[in-house]
Chain A
């Protein structure tokens, strides 16, 4: 497939506006600004573009949720919080071609009638925030941003807003809270951000990769975009491959390519010639799949049918040497650390699951432990919490136990019981209780 989102990879000064213009950049913006916002939304709907942040919701449909008659200002927010373990594609776009994102943001803002847009970027990405600031400054200089853009009468300002270290702020309503200067505690939905979002106003939150697709849709047409990938799963996708492969990294491939092709052809196979044991198809919140399912197509619907999710496209590959109880414990440490603490099932459940897993790993597992883990997974998911972080740690629990339950059983079978805790016994004096009462 010809590179689309990563077409500037390998170009000299790929981040500069001159390189972007040389490759045909900003012509889609010019085309969009002379058509009507409704036509832009229609074109994106027709392309079938689905959100690349993890949920896979149709982007054009989301834009259409902005109330037309609202007198309030509208906001576009680019979600560059990229914190899902195993995901590093947005960073790649910002490193290679930040103007593609800026152009996508201008078109999206125009479509939803926003005059202010923010890029919410995770705090750790200090250099990436600087690359974006630089690109934005270049765009202002060319009058692609600011007042009366290219004399079309349309105004837009874009600001970079840095997070400060919190996975949960990648969840769109937690992101809004954080943007407003608060703790990143997710909000109850409805109302959805399209109606009540940033500062109480209609807001669209889109992922970096989603917005980077937009200029190409406008430039080359919805039909061209829809011709890439599979029906309902259209367009190019960035796959982030990490773990035990020979050449980890970001690969741009059509949706629907098989995981086998990604691992064996693009990533040079398994590191050290070892055997594949399992892969996590879409960032750590996606349940793992065993090696037997490596011929599954990497698109939203096929991965869902296999019992996991494509999520952010973060493919974590594990070879035969990996202890799956260890792997789940590592992920549970992540979720227990990142739970915002707002909902009891998530706050207590993630920490409890971590306790159980640690105990199993230390050789003190109990026969009922697997059932306990599955019960936690049932009680903290599927609508029991305000945001999807509950589901994010429950899916992996269920997936690891479903496919690799024998490893948990084996670890528990060779366990020795924990020595009973000896409680200190306070001396009881005659006629008085232990506390002198």
Chain B
């Protein structure tokens, strides 16, 4: 049996992140990040990670705060934000189910998992269950093909999955 250890993501409501300020703990981390690079701009990816860790997604208000802190144009940050797939620009469910749909996983039965998930959760790719628990997305190769099929849930990989194992796993994620 799979014992999920994955913690739920904290997802801020849109009204909570209309305007944000970094608290002292975050400020301290930002200063440490800035110390690692010769330019301020290089801190952008780590600072976006730090913000997403705290609020669950990157709202326009967060973009504004990062822009002011790193002295970068908001439009530049938007460009970077949307280039990468892992920054969320909208609130997601507490558990982000990222199903690998590239060749090796497909050869080992991913499509069965996908149709099961879609039916069980009654949502399609890119959608969130009405209770805000799960968001289902399709992703490209997760780099764990020897243990296919693979699903990443928040920060954790779950590998060698069958429909039964997946059911048990989801039941454990509250």
Flag A155-181 by CB within 8 Å of B: 1 or 0 each: 001010111111100000000001111
Q: Is the CB of A162 within 8 A of B38?
A: no
Q: How far is the CA of A87 from the CA of B80 in the complex (A)?
A: 26
Which chain B residues numbered 134 to 163 have a C-beta less than 8 Å away from chain A? 139-148, 152, 155-157
Q: Is the CB of A182 within 8 A of B84?
A: no
Closest beta carbon of chain B to A127's beta carbon, Å: 7
Q: Is the CB of B80 within 8 A of A183?
A: yes
Provide the residues of chain A in CB contact with B156, threshold 8 Å: 126-127
Q: How far is the CA of A73 from the CA of B37 in the complex (A)?
A: 12
Which residue of chain A has the shortest Cβ distance to B98 in the bound complex?
A124
Say yes or no: is A330 at the interface (Cβ < 8 Å to chain B): yes
Q: How far is the CA of A331 from the CA of B142 in the complex (A)?
A: 14
Closest beta carbon of chain A to B33's beta carbon, Å: 9
Size band of the A side of the interface? Answer: 35 or more
Partner of B103, one of A82, A184, A331: A331
Q: How far is the CA of A249 from the CA of B108 in the complex (A)?
A: 13
Provide the residues of chain B in CB contact with A157, threshold 8 Å: 36
Q: How far is the CA of A127 from the CA of B7 in the complex (A)?
A: 13
Say yes or no: is A240 at the interface (Cβ < 8 Å to chain B): yes
Say yes or no: is B102 at the interface (Cβ < 8 Å to chain A): yes
Q: Is the CB of B80 within 8 A of A182?
A: yes
Chain B contact residues: helix, strand, loop or mixed: mixed
Q: Is the CB of B107 within 8 A of A318?
A: yes
Say yes or no: is A337 at the interface (Cβ < 8 Å to chain B): yes
Which residue of chain A has the shortest Cβ distance to B152 in the bound complex?
A124
Q: Is the CB of B85 within 8 A of A166?
A: yes
Flag B75-96 by CB within 8 Å of A: 1 or 0 each: 0000110011111000000000
Say yes or no: is A381 at the interface (Cβ < 8 Å to chain B): no
Provide the residues of chain A in CB contact with B48, threshold 8 Å: 164
Flag A136-160 by CB within 8 Å of B: 1 or 0 each: 0000000000000000000001010
Q: Is the CB of B104 within 8 A of A86?
A: yes
Say yes or no: is B43 at the interface (Cβ < 8 Å to chain A): yes
Provide the residues of chain B in CB contact with A183, threshold 8 Å: 79-80, 83
Say yes or no: is B125 at the interface (Cβ < 8 Å to chain A): no
Which chain B residues numbered 39 to 79 have a C-beta less than 8 Å away from chain A? 39, 41-46, 48-49, 72, 79
Which chain A residues numbered 98 to 129 have a C-beta less than 8 Å away from chain B? 122-127
| Given known A-B contacts A88-B146, A124-B143, A124-B152, A162 and B46 have beta carbons under 8 A apart | yes
| Given known A-B contacts A163-B45, A164-B45, A181-B43, A88 and B143 have beta carbons under 8 A apart | yes
Say yes or no: is B106 at the interface (Cβ < 8 Å to chain A): yes
Provide the residues of chain A in CB contact with B44, threshold 8 Å: 181-182
| Given known A-B contacts A85-B102, A124-B86, A240-B145, A199 and B49 have beta carbons under 8 A apart | no
Q: Is the CB of B107 within 8 A of A316?
A: yes
Which residue of chain B has the shortest Cβ distance to A251 in the bound complex?
B146
Q: How far is the CA of A165 from the CA of B39 in the complex (A)?
A: 22
Closest beta carbon of chain B to A301's beta carbon, Å: 25
Q: Which of B87, B103, B148, B152 has the most CB of A within 10 A?
A: B103
Provide the residues of chain A in CB contact with B46, threshold 8 Å: 161-162
Which residue of chain A has the shortest Cβ distance to B41 in the bound complex?
A181
Which chain A residues numbered 334 to 376 have a C-beta less than 8 Å away from chain B? 334, 337-338, 340
Residue pairs across A and B with Cβ atoms less than 8 A apart, 9 shown, are A87-B145, A159-B36, A181-B43, A240-B145, A242-B104, A249-B146, A250-B146, A284-B103, A334-B102
- Given A183-B79, A199-B39, A316-B103, output 5 extra A-B contacts at Cβ < 8 Å: A85-B141, A123-B86, A124-B139, A165-B85, A314-B145
7 interchain residue pairs of minimum CB distance? A165-B85, A164-B84, A242-B145, A165-B86, A181-B44, A242-B104, A126-B155
Which B positions have Cβ atoms within 8 angstroms of A?
Answer: 36-39, 41-46, 48-49, 72, 79-80, 83-87, 98, 101-104, 106-108, 139-148, 152, 155-157
